Amino acid sequence: MQFGLIEMWQAMGVVAKTVAIILILLSVITIYLFIERNLVFARARKKSLEIAPKLADLMKNGQLKEAMALASKKEYKVSHLARVTAAGIEEFLTSKESNLSLEEQIESAQRGCDRARSLFTQELRRGLSLMATIATSSPFIGLFGTIFGIINAFRGMALTGSGGIGAVAAGIAEALVTTAFGIGVAVIALWTFNALNTKIEVYNTEMENTTSQIVDFFVRTSGK
């Protein structure tokens, strides 16, 4: 028996082929999620860099309503900085109109920013739970195919009445291929998950810094 990919595939049983197909689909899903999330992150970065200087100028000039209107525009919904800024200004103005104390106005702005940050973080993490599930379950799916490969190896020994390599080669190859598939898919999913999680932490830090800057701005301007 030759051990090329085609020959091994042809020698694999129905169960092993099914396991291999499932693992291939899981790897495709993982790669798709990785590309799709990176595109989302890139749009958030691009729009944030575009709107940040505009918001800074408006707020320095005391044009809070104009800044909120700009940050609330549909085209900037993908911007993490715009979302946090709009939420903070909205809560600050609302509490001010309600004649709350300065301290309560600042706290309201803080809470608004925190809520927007939490919601946007959840949006950024969309799909990562599936990726984590793929990373943890793929080796076990591969192991399922491995077990059937070993069973086929013993079946070959029983049918031939021999324990030679020819009797068990197909089953052993089947077991090793499914094991390799499972580990490979898990490694890909784990690497991509960690890479995306690292980027989300960076964006989360940027939103925390923006929240701090907005609160500091309100403290300085309201104290005048």
Burial 133-143 (b: 16+ CB within 10 A, else e): ebbeebbebbe
- Give the other-Cβ count within 10 Å of 116's Cβ: 23
Position 157, amino acid: M
Half-sphere exposure of 137 toward its Cβ, with a 13 Å CA cutoff?
Answer: 12
Distance CA 47, CA 76 (A): 6
CA 174 – CA 177 distance, rounded (Å): 5
CA 64 to chain centre: 33
pLDDT (tens place) for every residue of the chain, 224 residues total: 455 566 666 666 777 788 888 999 999 999 999 999 999 999 999 999 999 999 999 998 889 999 999 999 999 999 999 999 999 999 999 998 888 888 898 999 999 999 999 999 999 999 999 999 999 999 998 888 788 777 766 666 666 655 555 555 566 777 778 888 899 999 999 999 999 999 999 999 999 999 999 999 988 886 55
Residue 63 backbone phi and psi in degrees, to 5:
-90, 70
User: In the 3-class helix/strand/coil scheme, how is 13-47 assigned residue by residue?
Assistant: CHHHHHHHHHHHHHHHHHHHHHHHHHHHHHHHHHH
pTM for the model stands at 0.82
